[in-house]
Amino acid sequence: MLQIQQLEKTYKNAAEPSLQGLSLQFSDKSIAGLLGPNGAGKTTTISILCGLVKADAGKAFLLGMDVEKEREAIKRRIGVVPQSIALYPTLTAMENLQYIGRLYGLGSTLLKERINQYLQLFGLEKSAHKAIRYYSGGMKRRANIIASLLHEPELLILDEPTAGVDVQSRNMILQFLTEYNKLGHGIIYTSHLLEEAQQLCDEIAIIDHGRLVVQGKPVELMQEQQAQSLEQVFLQLTGSSLRD
C-alpha cells in the first residue's frame, strides 16, 4: 500500500535536510507504524504522501499510484488524519462533518447515515450539536478521525492519532483501527508510544535523521535485536541521545 523510494527533502532556509534518501514499503491492507524520534521526518513523509509538501527528489506510491501525478485519484481512496485538529472550532461536529462529507461528494442520505453511524461509534452522538471548541482533547481527536472516514477510504493515514488523549479515548481509537483493518482497509500511523505500536502494528518502519533505520514485523525485529520490547529495539537502533 506504500512504496517510498529515495525521498529527499530540505525545507527552505533549513540548515539540514529533513529526508535524506528515505526508502521503505508497507504491504497491502496491513496496520503499519511509521516510528522515529522527534524530528526524524515522520510528518514530512506524511505531508509528501498527502501532497501538502513537495519532495525535492525521489518517488512515493500509495495504493500503487504516484503521489505527485495521481493526486485526485488518491484523494478519493485515502483518508488523512493530521496531527493538529482540522475542524472549524466554532462549528458543531455535525456542521463540520456535513461540510466535509459534501466536499467528498457524498449524497445527503448516505452522508447523514455515515455521520450518525460514526458519531455513535466514536461516542460523540450526544455532543453532535456542540461546537468543537467546547470539546475535550480526546473528543476533538475522535471527531478529527471521523472527518477523514466519511468516504470510507481504503487506506487511512493517521499522524499521532493518540497523542494527548486519555486511556479511554486511546483504547477506543485503537480498537476502531483494528476493526477498520479487519474490514480490509489499510492503516498507516505514526506514534511515539512504542508499546502501543508493538500491540497494534503488523509491520513497522523506524526512521531517524530522514533515513530508514529498520523495517519489519515487531516480533521479528525483537528476535533479530534480541530485545524484549519494541522500545528496546528502538533505543538500541536510534540511541538514547536527546533530540531537539
Ligand X SMILES: Nc1ncnc2c1ncn2[C@@H]1O[C@H](COP(=O)(O)OP(=O)(O)OP(=O)(O)O)[C@@H](O)[C@H]1O
- Distance between CA atoms of residues 99 and 105, nearest Å: 10
**Per CB under 6 A, which region of 33-41, 113-121, 136-144, 146-154 contacts ligand X?**
33-41
Nearest CA-CA partner of 147 in 205, 201, 100, 217: 100
Task: Choose, by CB under 6 A, the member of 22, 32, 41, 206 that binds ligand X.
Answer: 41
Q: Which three cell numbers stand for residue 57?
A: 527528489
- Distance between CA atoms of residues 214 and 221, nearest Å: 8
- Distance between CA atoms of residues 24 and 28, nearest Å: 13
Task: Choose, by CB under 6 A, the member of 44, 92, 96, 238 that binds ligand X.
Answer: 44
Least CB distance from residue 76 to ligand X, whole Å?
Answer: 26
Task: Choose, by CB under 6 A, the member of 1, 4, 7, 18 that binds ligand X.
Answer: 18
**Per CB under 6 A, which region of 11-19, 91-99, 127-135, 142-150 contacts ligand X?**
11-19
Task: Choose, by CB under 6 A, the member of 43, 92, 96, 148 that binds ligand X.
Answer: 43
Q: Which CB sits closer to ligand X, 6 or 116?
A: 6
Residue 40 touching ligand X (CB under 6 A): yes
- Distance between CA atoms of residues 186 and 48, nearest Å: 18
* Number of C-beta neighbours around residue 110 at 10 A: 13
Return residues touching ligand X (CB under 6 A): 11, 14, 18, 36, 38-44
